Structure 1
Amino acid sequence: MHAGAFEPVRGVDDLYVHDTGMFDTDEYGAVYVYDTDRPIVIDTGTGGNREALFETVEEIGIGREELEWILATHAHLDHAGGAGHLAERYPNAEVLVPEKGVRHLVDPEALVRGTKSAVGDQWEYYADPAPVPEDRISGLTEGDRIDLGERELVVHEAPGHAPHHAVYHDPDADVVFAADAGGIYVPETDEIVATSPPPQFDLNQCLDDIQTIDDLDPEYVCFGHFGPREYDPALAGEAKRAYVEWVEAVRAKREELSDDDAVVDHFETASRDLDYWNPERARANANLNTRGVLAYLDYVADEE
C-alpha cells in the first residue's frame, strides 16, 4: 500500500485501513475506517493529507452526513491532528478521545507547542490542527462502549505511552485497535520496536498495557503504524522484551557517557542502520524515544 491508498483489513468485515503517507513513509500512518451501521473513523493522522482520507471515506461509501464517530486513540498529533478538520468535514460526527485528551483537542495550542519542541524539523509533515468544538467532543474512560450499531467498541485505558491513550476492542470481530500501546510492529523486519515519547512515557505501565492487549487475546490487532496483522500471543513477550531492552540500553549508555545530549546523539547515529523508514524519520524517532526514556529514568530516580 502507498500514501493515500486504502484496502480492506483481511479477516474483519467492513473494516478498512488507509495509508496517510505520514513522514513520506509508506504505511507508517494507519487510519481505520469501520463501515458499520454507525460508521467510525479511528485515528486521523496529522491532518496533513486529510483530503486523501476524505476521498477514502467517500469511496468506501460513507456520506458526509453519515459518519457518526471520529475516534482518537490518544491526543498525540500524529494520531489526532486531523480530528478538528474531520469534524468540520463531517458535521454529524461526534469526536471521541480518552478523557485526559479532551482539553488538548478543544484547545490544541499547548499540544502544538510541545509537538514542535519534540519533533523539530519534522513539523513540516504536520498540519495546524483545527480546534474541536466543545459541544462536539466527549471523553472516554475504562469500560465505556461505543455504539456502532450491530457492533460496539469497548474502551480499555492504556496510559503507558501517554496518559491520554486507550485501546479499543470489538469483541464480535475479535479485533483490537492498539495504536501505540503495543509498540510499533514493523512488517519488513517482523519485529516490535518500542515507542517512548516524552514527557510521560512509563515503562511499567507500558508493560501492563501490553498485557491488557494479550489478555483480550484478539484474532487481529490494528497498530497505529504499519497497519494491521493477525495476533500471535508471542507478540506480547516480544513487545515486553523490546521495551525492557530499550530502556536498559538508554540507561547503560547514560551511565557510560554521563551526558544526555551525547546519549541522544549516540542513538540518532545508530538509527542510520534502520532501513524501514526514511533516514530523517529514523533520526527523529531515535531522538524522541531516547529523550522519553531519559525523562522516565529521571522520574524513577526522583521517586526513589
Structure 2
Amino acid sequence: MERPRLQRHPDGITAIDTEYMRPGMAAAHVIAHEGRAAFVDTGTTHSVPYLLAALDELGLAREAVDYVLLTHVHLDHAGGAGRLMQALPNARAVLHPRGAPHMVDPTKLIAGSIAVYGEDVYRELYGELVPIPAERVMTTHDGQRLSLAGRELELLHTPGHALHHHTIVDLSHRNLFTGDTFGLSYRELDTESGAFIVPTTTPTQFDPEQLIASVDRLLGYAPRALYLTHYSRVTDVPRLGELLKLQIREFVAIALRHRDAADRHEAISADMRALWLGLLRRHGCMLSEEQLDEVLGGDLQLNTQGLIAWLDRQRKS
C-alpha cells in the first residue's frame, strides 16, 4: 500500500487523506498529545489501512488511541469506524446519541445507502460496515468535556446538516473539528483571497435555521482554525462564516423560487451552480467551468436533493 497522504498542522494535529472518491475530497484527523491520540472521523472501511499506516508514520501505538470521535454517522465520515475500532484495543467510539445506535447496528445505514446508490456502487464506495460493540460506544451530551491526556475537548451538538451531528472543540488551542456543519472547503478553490467555502445540504435532515444557528454558535468560540472533513484546515473563520450563511440563505431562496416547478431538480441545480460560479469568480478563482464542475458537481447534486427533501418536509408541516 502507498504511504498515506499526511498533512501536519499545528497543535499536534495531522490530516490523513481517506482517499474517498478522489484525493483531497475527505480527511480524517489525528490529535496527538502527550503520547496519547484521538481520531476525528474515519472515512470508509477502505480508508482504515491509511489511518493505521498514519499511526505508524507518526510513531503512535495503536494502544495509544483513546477515542474515535465521529462527528456524525454519514458513511464518508464514519463508515470505517467499526473496522478501525477492531485495531484499537483501548479506544472508545464517541458519538451523538442519535447516531450511536446506527454504529452498533448499521443495518438501517446499509439499507438506506444501498437504496440510494445500488448495491454494487455501495460496496465499491463503502465496503463492509462493521458494527461497534455497544460497550465500546460513548454517547455525548451537549457541552460534555473529555480529556485527552489533559487536553480538554468539548462536544457541542450542532444540528442543521444532520440531527445527529456534534462538533469537537479543542479548547486550549481554539481549534474546531466541524465535520459538515461548517461546510466544505476544497483546496482546489483556494486563491490569493484565501479559502472558499460552500454549505452542504445533503439529504435528509438539512434545516437552514438550525444550520445558521450552529454556525453562529461555532463562530462564538472565536476559533483560530477549523478542521473540516472536506477538506482539512481553514482559517480566516469570520469571513468564511459570513460566506457560508449568505449561501444558506440563498439556497433557501432558490429552493422556494422553484418549489412548484415541474423540473425543480434541474432548476434548483442550475441556480445553485450559477450562484457558485459568480461567487468563485469574485473570489478570484480561475478554474474553468469544466474544472469547477469536476470539483463541485457531486456536491451540487447532493445539495439539490437535500433542498428538495427540505421542501417536501415544509409541505407536510
Return the TM-score normalized by structure 2. 0.86
Q: Compute the displacement of 1:103 (Å).
A: 0.5
Unaligned runs of 5+ in 1: none
1:1-304 superposed matches below 5 A: 4-9=4-9, 12-24=10-22, 26-37=23-34, 38-119=36-117, 123=122, 124-189=124-189, 190-255=195-260, 257-260=261-264, 262-263=266-267, 273=289, 275=291, 278=294, 282-303=296-317
Residue 161 to residue 274, structure 1, CA distance change in 2 (3 Å): farther
CA contact (8 A) 1:197 1:292 kept: yes
Give 2:161's aligned amino acid. Answer: H
CA contact (8 A) 1:264 1:286 kept: no
List per-residue Cα deviations over 1:40-80 (Å, max 9, x = no partner). Answer: 01100112121111100121111122211111001111101
Give 2:300's aligned amino acid. Answer: A
In 2, distance between residues paired with 1:215 and 1:278? 34
CA contact (8 A) 1:122 1:284 kept: no
SS at match of 2:68: strand
In 2, distance between residues paired with 1:232 and 1:287? 26
SS at match of 2:72: coil
Give 2:177's aligned amino acid. Answer: F
Q: Compute the displacement of 1:248 (Å).
A: 2.0
CA contact (8 A) 1:176 1:220 kept: yes
SS at match of 2:15: strand
Unaligned runs of 5+ in 2: 190-194, 277-287
Q: Compute the displacement of 1:227 (Å).
A: 1.0
CA contact (8 A) 1:247 1:293 kept: yes
Aligned length: 296
SS at match of 2:65: coil
In 1, distance between residues paired with 2:176 and 2:117? 28
Residue 213 to residue 122, structure 1, CA distance change in 2 (3 Å): farther
Residue 91 to residue 3, structure 1, CA distance change in 2 (3 Å): same
SS at match of 1:196: coil
In 2, distance between residues paired with 1:277 and 1:79? 23
In 2, distance between residues paired with 1:210 and 1:268? 20
CA contact (8 A) 1:46 1:80 kept: yes
Q: Compute the displacement of 1:33 (Å).
A: 0.3
Residue 266 to residue 229, structure 1, CA distance change in 2 (3 Å): closer
Q: Compute the displacement of 1:269 (Å).
A: 8.8
Residue 168 to residue 269, structure 1, CA distance change in 2 (3 Å): closer
Q: Compute the displacement of 1:114 (Å).
A: 1.6
SS at match of 2:230: coil
SS at match of 1:31: strand
C-alpha root-mean-square deviation of aligned residues, in Å? Answer: 2.4
Return the TM-score normalized by structure 1. 0.89
Give 1:204's aligned amino acid. Answer: E
Q: Compute the displacement of 1:30 (Å).
A: 0.9
Q: Compute the displacement of 1:242 (Å).
A: 1.3
Q: Compute the displacement of 1:150 (Å).
A: 2.5
Q: Identity, % of aligned pairs? A: 29
In 1, distance between residues paired with 2:265 and 2:242? 31
In 2, distance between residues paired with 1:195 and 1:70? 23
